[in-house]
Structure 1
């Protein structure tokens, strides 16, 4: 029987690339996204607000009824908020957390019986912001740290059921992502070379096929991963400088970290 991959946030850039790449790898694909942005004539899509538990249960019941199984769940849906701590109200922080964290939690709970039956894999599209500080995005960084912590813990809990977890931490992606509560005059800042949605999708499918637990798409993501572990304070200073501000005193930098190779 053909394996089935369910992808949330499927109408976005990375989501569409995931649908294409998983289909090319031989999977039957089902995409979840908000009803207004789902392509109306594409039978692969199911309209679903992943923060609504009843809608999620209904969507996964339809997937099982149609395809009979779920081998891969890609928790890909996410939104950001660009701005400093006080640029957003609490409702904005709550919305970012609901989509990035609660949405992934709700979808995983709904898919769990099918994933266990298939000895399946959960993929989480996190971010460099999921393991390291990134200036100008406190709501997003908080939500991505939360979802990274959740699924890192669940990797141990779900292993006895035959379910594995792949964490994906891309650097900045061309085109950015959906945002909520954009403050007037605040622009999206980036550092390092941006990667494409297809770059992310290609690496994710390869990781699933190879059984890998960690994916770091982009050179900047790899540098961030190691720099933040070798010298967290050095990483923070370089990142802050490259993203436009420098409120921190200059710390000693490990000789293995070059400022021009800064991170997200």
Structure 2
């Protein structure tokens, strides 16, 4: 498939996990891809890495301008940079709340702020934000993270309404439990990582975690010029965790 041929895409947080899988997929489908990351190391040769911290507005503006200067245009933005947080409302400090919201929410605003003027000139403009099913499904020990992703979902819909008549489509993808480095690190912090991973897999309706490649496929769909009627959508990629209520399996 070559639906992104001639288009230029930015992927934030694209040096690992979902972001890297997305950058590789968009590149394989014809896009010129630039990754904006805190440490854009080890990228494939066909992907441009630019060091940028989404909490620094000047760095974001400079990085977006550098992409447009190099490639002459900007068509797709994947707002994927984000950090996790664990705990109920009694456990995270004010400083951690400020840090997570700054990265996960305001970081997306900064990137969009500087990208939108360029996207207005594109015939195939799209923004895809990485959200999470915790935006609408209550999950234990995720108060801060859930609040940040609930804000991302609301932000996505507001941006979609603001920019649809400018020809810029805005959507978000909402992954469930994903097999990413962050989940791996979280499991390693448990007393029995193997048992914790088995329990997490068993909790999924499909018996396994969502893969980064599966989430990248959903992001590519939302970003593709083939989905021009898809606007203001929250696309769940969660193994059915949110929508399904399955009976317990009977052991024989």
The normalised TM-score by structure 1 is 0.77
Match of 1:90?
A: 94
**Structure 1 residues 179 and 79: CA distance shift in structure 2, 3 A:** farther
CA drift at 1:84: 2.1
Q: Are residues 1:15 and 2:30 paired?
A: no
| Separation (CA, whole Å) in 2 of partners of 1:132 and 1:69 | 38
**Structure 1 residues 164 and 60: CA distance shift in structure 2, 3 A:** same
The C-alpha deviation readout for 1:207-237, integer Å capped at 9, x for no partner, is 32232334221323xx41x46xxxxxxxxxx
| Separation (CA, whole Å) in 1 of partners of 2:220 and 2:44 | 25
**Structure 1 residues 61 and 124: CA distance shift in structure 2, 3 A:** same
Asked whether the 8 Å contact 2:74–2:119 carries over to 1, the reply is yes
Match of 1:245?
A: none
Q: Are residues 1:45 and 2:39 paired?
A: no
Asked whether the 8 Å contact 1:4–1:70 carries over to 2, the reply is yes
| Separation (CA, whole Å) in 1 of partners of 2:7 and 2:96 | 37
Asked whether the 8 Å contact 2:173–2:218 carries over to 1, the reply is no
Q: Are residues 1:145 and 2:150 paired?
A: yes
Q: What is the CA RMSD across the aligned residues, in angstroms?
A: 2.7
Q: How many residues align?
A: 227
Q: Secondary structure at the match of 1:172?
A: coil
Asked whether the 8 Å contact 2:127–2:171 carries over to 1, the reply is yes
Match of 1:217?
A: 237
Q: Secondary structure at the match of 1:45?
A: strand
| Separation (CA, whole Å) in 2 of partners of 1:40 and 1:153 | 33
CA drift at 1:185: 6.4
Asked whether the 8 Å contact 2:127–2:223 carries over to 1, the reply is no
Q: Secondary structure at the match of 2:11?
A: strand
The normalised TM-score by structure 2 is 0.81
Asked whether the 8 Å contact 1:38–1:46 carries over to 2, the reply is no
Match of 1:201?
A: 216
Asked whether the 8 Å contact 1:79–1:178 carries over to 2, the reply is no
Q: Are residues 1:106 and 2:110 paired?
A: yes
The C-alpha deviation readout for 1:227-250, integer Å capped at 9, x for no partner, is 6xxxxxxxxxxxxxxxxxxxxxxx
CA drift at 1:134: 1.7
Match of 1:162?
A: 167
What aligned pairs does 1:59-78 form with structure 2 within 5 A after superposition? 59-78=63-82
